[in-house]
Amino acid sequence: MYELYYWPGLQGRGEFVRLALEDAGAEYVDVARRATDEGGGVPAMMRLLRSERAAVIPFAPPFLKAGDLIISQAANILFYLGPRLGLAPEEEGARMLANGLQLTIADVVAEAHDTHHPIASDLYYEDQKDAARLNASAFIRQRMPKYLGYFERILTRNPRGDGQIIGAAITYVDLSLFQLIEGLAYAFPRAMARFETHYPALARLRDAVAARPNIARYLASERRIAFNETGIFRRYPELDEDTA
């Protein structure tokens, strides 16, 4: 039984972990979304973050409690969970490649966050709107195509077929690519309008992940929080633009 700790009310970085747990049908508790009187809620998360018992506590959510071990950082959690959930390559070398891809996803996720918070994450969006517009424009024109083009290229080059980005079977990296694409499409519908044309293999991968039975059930459930303007991917129309 795993315990996932993440801010309730937004998908955020916790969602990359949720997708892996859900796809594998793993038993887990999403602790901060539980009722406070059932031992859940943000207070339970804060208790653990401020705990004096563990030597190494996380800097920030998400983190996963697996027995006595408290693992922080989404990519690290997925590296740990991957083999246990049957969602990682078998060999060490391929796991390193998967982790490199996952950390590259983490980089573009951080850049997507910075489009609306380029000055400071603890200032309001409204107080950094001008800088946000400039940042988002550079993200949409340079960075997003560079990252998506990269993932499309790696996907289509997979010698085991382009149904997954690494090896012969779906891994947590594919689930994270699904989430990245969905997030970008939510935040930047105009900039992503021609996504299927430019990135056909990624589009097929996204559809294939969405059709996996456990993922489809999860997405239709109330456990899937809707995208919203407190998460990483935010729909602020003034930050979106048409692209070629």
- In this structure, the strands spanning 2-5 and 63-66 are antiparallel
Of 148 and 225, the one with the shorter C-beta distance to a copy of itself is 148
Q: Name the one residue in this structure whose structure tokens are 């969405």.
A: 210
150-189 footprint of a copy of itself as x/- string (CB under 8 A): x---x--xxx------x-----------------------
| Residues of this chain, 125-154, that bind a copy of itself according to CB under 8 A | 128, 131, 134-135, 138-139, 142-143, 147, 150, 154
Binding-site residue total for a copy of itself (CB under 8 A)? 47
Among 20-28, 93-101, 177-185, 216-224, which window interacts with a copy of itself (CB under 8 A)? 93-101
Is residue 214 a contact residue for a copy of itself (CB under 8 A)?
Answer: no
Does position 55 bind a copy of itself by CB under 8 A? yes
Is residue 208 a contact residue for a copy of itself (CB under 8 A)?
no
Q: List interacting residues with a copy of itself (CB under 8 A).
A: 52, 55-59, 63, 68-69, 71-73, 75-76, 79-80, 93, 96-97, 99-101, 103-104, 107, 110, 114, 118-120, 122-123, 128, 131, 134-135, 138-139, 142-143, 147, 150, 154, 157-159, 166
